[in-house]
């Protein structure tokens, strides 16, 4: 059973969120339950501790005694599977840091087309509730967490004898070998070269004649070898 | 050996040693004082005596101890200063002697002449004078002066520096044979090589250690102002609150009669709520004693520089969280937070997104400070902990090495660094239980 957990000290908001959930869930045949909390108490703490249940939390950031972010931190002490959405009166760009660190699905402003936005995000949450979202690994005492969706490709850097994880905005040198990394990747990653694996969801085009792969940010790499060409053709545009 | 042969070199050696020590300490020696004259004569006698009685090895040890004793009484600045000054003066003479003897050797080789200093008293005296001048000239080289200055400044506070100097001294004693009277053979070159190698190693080790100590001192100086700064911040916060209350009262008196006034008052009240006051309000629950001041000092004005800062100070944080802490532990915590904040600010400034977030919260047993910042792509994450690693240029990058050292010395502190998507995340975890020791 899927649990929606609403945490807000304003009864009106809780009601509204409840309505959005009902609107979203009625057409589906998913069994679900909605739980409401106006403050962080013992029963809320026990709910967080409960294992083996799929949960989607909708937390208000501005609660006097124990804020939504406090609850999110409490959840993330042990649980990295549940989905967390945060409601806030004013969204600031720097909240992205919290979003990343606490793996929050999204922040929703209470004043900006709030019910529709919540509906859209909950729809996404429903989809994402059974998909592992982040690539986590440790290399040379440094822990990394990178969204799978953000990765374009991973290549072996033979000169530096390490592997490079290339995302939309950054590249991370990692001292794990490509095979070790590939063992951790989901199905949407396919090998295109002895020294390269790509995220097929982020591929724009592939020029099989010139062996050039173009990603959706227009970055190009020529890491397509004969050995993997057939497999790539089958999987990327299937 | 005549009396001149015996006393002459010691006399010259002492004159230059004294000159050098007074230059290093920046204090003139008063020779009108009877005690100083007596000490000076005593030193000449002692050094002359050592030439007569001891072999090379014992003579160096004896001379060093004599100088130490002499500086201790003549400068009256304590044994630590006497030791460091003796060491520096000895070291500079030692280096000058090596340079001078090398020069003599090359002169003798080029013009094919035999120079026997031991048998020529005048030449021996001239050599000592030259070495003395050379030692003073070496001291005046800007870089060397700077190294010596840092060494003196940090010497008393680090066991490491003391240990290094004592080891160096022992090496000098072991390899030292009067270079002037020593033939230029394989032993000489080997000694020269050993001395040069150990000097280099000691220099590199001390440089690194001193950089850590300097950084630590810099933070100490900052912290001594923070408590007052915090008091000023609290006053500021009260004044702003009071100002807002007055504005709200005026708004009430107006009772929407004057629309322009109403709008104007609303805009001022709103501005005050989202500006510095909000930042101060957020930090209301932080423990006293510097943390609040430090955070405000480092992050409070970054908005003006285009950096987006967001803070989340949890209600789980208690003002008295650090009440049972030892003051030195609290200082160490502040040092770590200072370094992490400085690094976050510098990295965020260089990044495209320019974002910093600070979370402070307590769990059952721990106090947590989490700092996330965007960063530019040019950092080598695997080297970030190493001393001297920095993206900010030469002679930087001691911050995280200092953090590493503090954490190593204190098991109640833990620092974790992570990369989470586009953010560099540093977490300082402070164990709250049993922190009174």
Tens digit of each residue's pLDDT (9 = 90 or more) over A148-183: 888 999 999 888 778 899 998 888 888 888 888 888
Q: Which residues of B touch A65 (CB under 8 A)?
A: 315
Cα nearest neighbour of A148 on chain B: B421
Residues B352, B349: Cα–Cα separation, whole Å: 8
Rounded to a whole number of angstroms, the distance from the CA of B201 to the nearest CA of chain A is 27
Please name the member of A94, A139, A145 whose beta carbon is closest to the beta carbon of B355. A94
Specify the CATH superfamily of domain A2-128: Response regulator (3.40.50.2300)
Q: Model confidence at A66, in pLDDT bands (50, 70, 90)? A: confident
Taking CB atoms and an 8 Å limit, are A146 and B310 in contact across chains? no
Partners of A77 on chain B (C-beta within 8 Å) are 363
Contact A202, A187 (CB under 8 A): no
B112 or A14: which leads in pLDDT: A14
Q: B265 is written with which tokens?
A: 């008052």
Nearest residue of chain B to residue A74 (CA atoms): B363
3-state secondary structure of B380: coil
**Are the C-beta atoms of A6 and A17 separated by less than 8 Å?**
yes
Instruction: Show residues of chain B in contact with A100, CB under 8 Å.
Output: 372, 420-423, 425
At CB < 8 A and 24+ separation, what contacts does A72-80 make? A72/A98, A72/A102, A72/A104, A73/A102, A73/B314, A73/B359, A73/B361, A73/B363, A74/A40, A74/A45, A74/A48, A75/A48, A76/A102, A76/A103, A77/B363, A78/A49, A79/A48, A79/A51, A79/A55
Whether residue A101 and residue B314 make contact (CB cut-off 8 A), yes or no, is no
Q: Are B90 and B47 in contact (CB under 8 A)?
A: no
DSSP, collapsed to helix, strand or coil, labels residue B371 as: strand
Contact (CB<8Å) B419/A96: no
User: Scanning the structure block, which residue is given the tokens 């070898």?
Assistant: A225
Report CA A185 to chain centroid distance, whole Å: 14
For residue B312, list chain A residues with Cβ-Cβ distance below 8 A: 67, 69, 98
Residues β-bridged to residue A222: none
What CA–CA distance (Å, rounded) separates A200 from A187? 9
Strand ranges in chain A using DSSP code E only, listed in sequence order = 2-7, 32-37, 54-60, 83-88, 106-109, 134-139, 142-147, 151-157, 162-167, 171-174, 189-193, 196-199, 203-207, 212-215, 220-221
C-alpha triplet A7, B426, B408: angle, nearest 5°: 130
The token pair at B322 is: 């650090």
List chain A domain ranges.
2-128, 134-233
Residues from chain B contacting residue A172 (CB–CB below 8 Å): 381, 419
Q: Is the ipTM of this complex over 0.90?
A: no
Residue that is written with structure tokens 């650090």 in the block: B322
Q: How far apart are CA B425 and CA B374, in angstroms?
A: 9
How high is the mean pLDDT of chain B? Answer: 77
B384 contacts in chain A (CB < 8 Å) = 142
- What local confidence, expressed as pLDDT, does residue B437 receive? 42
Whole-angstrom distance, CA of residue B437 vs CA of residue B430: 14
Residue A191, classed as helix, strand or coil, is strand
- On chain B, the residues whose CB falls within 8 A of the CB of A92 are 308, 310
Cβ atoms of B402 and B212 closer than 8 Å: yes
Identify the residue among A65, A74, A97 best suited for mutation to test binding to B, counting B beta carbons within 10 A and taking the highest: A97
- Nearest by Cα to B357 from B320, B322, B408, B312: B312
Chain A interface, best mutation among B422, B425, B426, B427, by max A CB count within 10 A? B422
Q: Which of A64, A77, A100 sits opposite B420 (nearest CB)?
A: A100
**DSSP label at residue A105:** S
A29's tokens: 């045949």
Q: Is B385 close to A96, i.e. CB distance below 8 A?
A: no
pLDDT given for residue B436 in this prediction: 47
End-to-end CA distance of chain B: 64
Which residue ranges of chain B lie beneath pLDDT 50? Answer: 394-395, 435-437
Question: Measuring CA to CA, which residue among A3, A9, A11, A13 is closest to residue A109?
Answer: A13
User: Positive or negative CA dihedral for A121, A126, A127, A130?
Assistant: positive
HSE (CB half, 13 Å, CA atoms) of B114?
4
What are B's interface residues with A at a Cβ cutoff of 8 A?
308-310, 312, 314-316, 353, 355-357, 359, 361, 363, 370, 372-373, 377, 380-382, 384-385, 416-423, 425
Output the pLDDT for position B418.
86
Instruction: Tell whether the model's pLDDT for residue A214 goes beyond 90.
Output: yes
Among B314, B370, B377, beta carbon nearest to A101: B370
Minimal CA–CA distance to B436: which of B282, B326, B327? B326
Average pLDDT over residues A36-65: 87
In angstroms, what CA-CA distances link A155 with A43, A145, A148, A160, A191?
48, 18, 15, 12, 10
Q: What pLDDT shows up at residue B376?
A: 82
Percent of chain B predicted with pLDDT > 90: 7
Rounded Cα distance between A221 and B69, Å, is 73
Q: What is the pLDDT of residue B16?
A: 84
Indicate if the pLDDT at residue A71 is higher than 90. yes
Measured distance between the N- and C-terminal CA atoms of chain A, rounded to whole angstroms: 33
For the domain spanning A134-233, the CATH number is 2.40.50.1020
Q: From chain B, pick out residues whose CB is under 8 angstroms from the CB of A147.
A: 421
Answer whether A97 sits within 8 Å of B356, measured CB to CB.
Answer: yes
> Per the CB < 8 Å rule, is B381 touching A142?
yes
Contact B422 A170 (CB under 8 A): yes
Residue A5 — very low, low, confident or very high, per pLDDT cuts 50/70/90?
very high
- In the sheet with A83-88, reading across from the earlier edge strand, the strands are A32-37, A2-7, A54-60, A83-88, A106-109
Domain(s) labelled CATH 3.30.565.10 in chain B stretch across: 217-431
Judged by CB atoms closer than 8 Å, whether chains meet at B382 and A66 is answered as: no
Classify B217-431 by CATH class. alpha beta
pLDDT at A154: 95
Instruction: Name the residue with tokens 């005596």.
Output: B49
Chain A residue numbers touching B380 (CB-CB < 8 A): 173
**Minimum Cα–Cα distance from B423: chain A residue:** A97
Closest chain A residue to B360, measured at CA: A70
């Amino acid at each position: 059973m899927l649990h929606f957990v609403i945490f807000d000290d304003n009864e009106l908001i809780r009601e509204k969120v409840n309505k959005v959930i009902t609107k979203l869930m009625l057409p589906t045949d998913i069994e679900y339950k909605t739980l409401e909390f106006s403050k962080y108490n013992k029963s809320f703490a026990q709910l967080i501790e409960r294992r083996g249940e799929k949960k989607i939390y909708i937390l208000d950031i501005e609660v006097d005694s124990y804020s939504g972010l406090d609850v999110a931190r409490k959840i993330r002490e042990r649980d990295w599977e549940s989905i967390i959405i945060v409601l806030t009166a004013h969204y600031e760009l720097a909240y992205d840091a919290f979003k990343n660190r606490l793996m929050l699905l999204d922040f929703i402003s209470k004043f900006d087309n709030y019910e529709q936005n919540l509906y859209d995000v909950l729809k996404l949450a429903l989809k994402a509730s059974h998909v592992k979202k982040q690539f986590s690994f440790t290399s040379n005492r440094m822990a990394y967490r990178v969204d799978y969706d953000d990765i374009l490709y991973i290549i072996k850097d033979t000169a530096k004898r390490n592997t490079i994880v290339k995302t939309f905005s950054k590249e991370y040198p990692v001292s794990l070998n490509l095979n070790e990394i590939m063992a951790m990747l989901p199905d949407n990653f396919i090998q295109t070269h002895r020294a390269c694996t790509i995220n097929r969801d982020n591929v724009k085009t592939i020029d099989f004649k010139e062996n050039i792969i173009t990603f959706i940010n227009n970055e190009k790499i020529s890491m397509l070898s004969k050995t993997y060409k057939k497999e790539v053709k089958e999987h990327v545009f299937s | 050996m005549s009396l001149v042969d015996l006393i002459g070199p010691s006399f010259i050696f002492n004159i230059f040693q004294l000159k050098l020590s007074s230059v290093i300490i920046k204090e003139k020696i008063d020779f009108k004082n009877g005690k100083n004259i007596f000490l000076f004569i005593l030193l000449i006698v002692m050094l002359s005596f050592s030439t007569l009685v001891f072999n090379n090895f014992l003579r160096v040890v004896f001379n060093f101890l004599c100088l130490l004793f002499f500086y201790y009484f003549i400068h009256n600045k304590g044994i630590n200063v006497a030791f460091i000054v003796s060491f520096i003066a000895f070291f500079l003479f030692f280096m000058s002697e090596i340079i001078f003897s090398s020069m003599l050797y090359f002169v003798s080789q080029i013009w094919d002449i035999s120079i026997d200093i031991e048998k020529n008293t005048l030449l021996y005296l001239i050599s000592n004078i030259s070495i003395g001048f050379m030692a003073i000239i070496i001291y005046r080289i800007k870089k060397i002066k700077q190294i010596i200055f840092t060494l003196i400044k940090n010497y008393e506070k680090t066991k490491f520096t003391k240990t290094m100097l004592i080891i160096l001294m022992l090496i000098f004693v072991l390899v030292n044979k009067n270079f002037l009277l020593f033939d230029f053979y394989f032993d000489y070159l080997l000694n020269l090589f050993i001395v040069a190698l150990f000097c280099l190693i000691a220099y590199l080790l001390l440089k690194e250690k001193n950089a850590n100590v300097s950084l630590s001192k810099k933070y100490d100086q900052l912290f001594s102002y923070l408590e007052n700064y915090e008091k000023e911040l609290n006053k500021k916060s009260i004044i702003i609150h009071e100002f807002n209350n007055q504005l709200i009262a005026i708004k009430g008196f107006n009772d929407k009669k004057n629309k322009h006034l109403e709008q104007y008052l609303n805009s001022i009240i709103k501005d005050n709520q989202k500006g510095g006051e909000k930042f101060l309000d957020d930090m209301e629950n932080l423990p006293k004693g510097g943390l609040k001041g430090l955070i405000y000092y480092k992050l409070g004005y970054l908005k003006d520089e285009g950096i987006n800062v967001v803070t989340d100070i949890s209600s789980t944080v208690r003002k008295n969280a650090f009440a049972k802490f030892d003051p030195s532990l609290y200082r160490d915590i502040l040092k770590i937070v200072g370094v992490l904040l400085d690094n976050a600010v510098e990295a965020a400034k260089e990044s495209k997104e320019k974002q910093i977030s600070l979370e402070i919260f307590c769990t059952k047993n721990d106090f947590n400070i989490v700092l996330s910042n965007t960063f530019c792509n040019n950092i080598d994450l695997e080297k970030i902990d190493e001393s001297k690693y920095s993206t900010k240029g030469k002679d930087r990058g001691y911050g995280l090495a200092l953090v590493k050292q503090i954490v190593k010395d204190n098991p109640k502190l833990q620092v974790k660094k992570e990369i989470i998507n586009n953010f560099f995340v540093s977490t300082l975890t402070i164990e709250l239980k049993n922190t009174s020791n």
